[in-house]
Amino acid sequence: MKICVFGAGAIGGYLAVELALAGHDVCVIARGTHLRAIREAGLRLRIDGKEKIARIPASDDPRAFGPQDFVICALKAQQAFECAALFPPLLGPHTAFVTAMNGIPWWYFYKSGGQFEGRSLEAVDPGARQWKLIGPERAIGCVVDPACETVAPGIIEHHHLNRFTLGEPDNSRSERVTALAEAMTSAGFEAPVRQGIRWNIWLKLWGNVCFNPIATLTHARLDRITSESGLRAVCIAAMEEARAVCRALGIDIPEEMMQRRLEAAHAVTGHKMSMLQDLERGRSLEIDALVTIVQEFGRMTRVATPTIDVLLALVQERARQAELYTPTCQIA
C-alpha cells in the first residue's frame, strides 16, 4: 500500500511515522527547514518521553513520488486550497484522497442527498477549485482527535488521543475505507469507520467553532475556556447555534452531547488550541473551515448565528491585525 502524507506537520508527521514504522510504503510532502530536517535526520516522533525515528522519502515536489493508493491531506484548510494544483501527480485512477483536517471539508455536499447535493462551499473551496482538480469521488472523510505539536523542524510531539474516525461521503463501508482503517489500525491508531461521517465532523466542529476563536482572542487554555462561567456561556451559545444549523442540514446530534463535549474538553488540562498556537508562531489562521463555514451554512439554511457571527468578526480582525489572515470569500 502506497501512502503519501501531504503536509508532514503535527498531525501528518504523527501519521507518517507510525504508518512507516508499521511497514507501509510512506512518503511525505514537506517544505523548508522541516523538509531539510526530515531528509537529514528522519522524521522524529516523541510520545511519553520516548522517541521514534522513521527514515521516510520526503520532497516538496509531488512529482517525485507519482500515483499513490492513498493521499492523506494533513494541511490546514486554507493551505489545502492553495495547494490544490499540486495534488494531481499523486492521483492515479483509483487513488483515494483522505481529508485528515479540522472543520468542514470541501466535498461536504458530495453524495449528501437533499437540496444542496453537489454544491461547493465558498468558505473552504471558492470557485470549487479542489472539487474540480481532485474530484469529490476520491474523498474519504477523517475526523482528527489527536493533539500533536511540531516542536522543532523534523520533530513531532504527541500529547493526547490516537483516534482518526473514517467515513465515506456516501455512507458506505467500501473496500477502500476498510483497507485504510486496517492500515491505520496496524500502525497503532484507533480508526473506526462510521456510516454517517458528517455527524462526527459536526461533533468535532461544535468545539472548534467556539474554542479556537475564544482562545485566539483571550489566550486562554482549553480548560479555562470551558470552566470560566462567562466563556463557557459563550461556548454554549455558539454550540447551540451550530446545532441548529446542522439540524437544518439533516444532522441531528443529541443536546446532551454538548455537555459531554464541554466536559471532555475541560479534562484536557492546559491544552493550547491550534489557532492560538498559530497566532503565537506567526502562521496563517484556520478561520474559514472552522467558523466562516458555519456562517455560510446558516445563510444557506436561514438559521441565525448571532454568537458565531460576533466571534467570527472579532477573530478575523485579530488575525488581520497580525497579518495572518486573508478571507477566501465574503459570505453574503
- Residue positions annotated with a catalytic role: 204
Q: Collapse the DSSP code of 1 into the 3-class scheme (helix H, G, I; strand E, B; otherwise coil) and give the result.
A: coil
Distances (CA, A) of 311 to 278, 295, 314: 17, 11, 5
CA–CA dist 227, 8 (Å, integer): 33
- Cβ of 223: how many Cβ atoms within 10 Å? 15
Q: Where are the alpha helices (DSSP H) in the chain?
A: 10-21, 32-41, 77-82, 129-133, 175-186, 197-218, 222-225, 229-248, 256-266, 274-280, 293-301, 306-321
CA–CA dist 204, 38 (Å, integer): 31
Torsion of CA 255, 259, 261, 266, to 10 degrees: 170
Distances (CA, A) of 213 to 9, 156, 182, 224, 330: 22, 24, 35, 14, 18
Torsion of CA 87, 198, 310, 229, to 10 degrees: -130
CA–CA dist 17, 28 (Å, integer): 10
Q: Using DSSP, how many helices (H) and how many strands (E) does the chain show?
A: 12, 11
Q: Is there a contact between 117 and 31 (Cβ–Cβ < 8 Å)?
A: no
Q: How is residue 16 written as a grid cell? A: 507518517
